[in-house]
Amino acid sequence: MDYIKGRGAQINPDNRFFEHNYEKDLSFLQHLHQAGEKENKPKTEYIQVHPKTIVNKVTSPDLGFSYSMNPYQGCEHGCIYCYARNTHEYWGYSAGTDFESKILIKENAADLLRAHFKSKSWRPSPIMLSGNTDCYQPIERKLKITRSLLEVCLKYRHPVGLITKNAMILRDLDILSEMAQMKLAKVVISLTSLKDKTRSVLEPRTSAVGIRLNAIRSLSDAGIPTMVMMAPIIPSINNMEIMKLAEKVAENGATDLAYTIIRLNGIIPEIFTDWLEKNYPDRVDKVLNQIKDLHGGTLNDSRFKLRMRGEGEMSNHIHQMFAMAKRKYGLGLEKHPFDLKLFRRSVDENQLELF
């Protein structure tokens, strides 16, 4: 099978929850090869869904937020390591190429959030956009669902955090800067590598490295607290970049730097291993064995407080490197708490929108 450029996953494994599995006709694939033809590349489909709620309670002790909202399910960015791939199986799709080519959209998200804020039982607490898939993936440029959610947050004076790999976030600088002045907005830019060659195979449809660094600078210059998440750390792929990456993000105004260790849960080990064999064939065993060393001898680690930090000698070394990098480049010295007192449950819906 030819390499699918522009996609992370190169396979589309069967959904684990389906009773029946399907295999490709090998004779047909051989016929295509002999005829010099290729299989149809997966085209992105956008599928509208109609959820009843948009704010999700987060119970994981590994995450630094209690609520999240996801305007999209599935993610066209195609990051090969993404833990959210497994959630696509609950929608009846595959965690492989389906995850990045069948995108579920929630066009009623803003209405749901507005109703949520009006509920008398709601007490203001920071909400993360997004806790699962990227809220600034390509289709956002057209649909503007994330922007509509930010407009609601601004109108109700409700705190929000955002995490993204896409410089499209600069489109919403007007809203974010106004919210930041009221201590209602913080941003996390995910940056896994300073090498675009690495980024292009790890995260094929994300913003280029230089563009992301520029986004960090622009957000910072606009007074928006912006930290960087180096996630995930993949041994023998990007762990050697920690110090240099810390230097670069500090130069561009980042306030802090954090990280997670790669973990391959659910069906992702199969997808990731296939990707490794096609992109780094010289180090497949080395990478997989080092990941196992970080997770007690397994690729699939579900243990709270260990699954995202790892354990063992390599984990300790990575932790020490990050601590050293943060001290050297002055990261994490300032705290930027949200102001929860500005929230207003009652808003005149007849007043003109600001944006």
pLDDT digits 0-9 by tens, 148-186? 999 999 999 999 999 999 999 999 999 999 999 999 999
Dist. CA 189–CA 89, nearest whole Å = 27
Mean pLDDT, rounded, for 259-273: 94
* CB neighbourhood size of 200 (10 A): 17
* CB neighbourhood size of 178 (10 A): 17
pLDDT of residue 302: 79
**215 closest CA partner among 150, 170, 160:** 170
pLDDT of residue 350: 54
pTM of the complete model:
0.88
CA angle 208, 288, 242 (to 5 degrees): 45
Mean pLDDT, rounded, for 250-279: 95
pLDDT in tens, 281-333: 999 999 999 999 999 999 988 787 787 889 999 999 999 999 999 999 999 99
**Comparison of pLDDT for 171 and 347, the residue scoring more:** 171
**Comparison of pLDDT for 305 and 207, the residue scoring more:** 207
Mean pLDDT score of the chain: 90
Query: Binning pLDDT at 50, 70 and 90, where does residue 1 land?
Result: low
Check pLDDT > 80 for residue 40. Answer: no
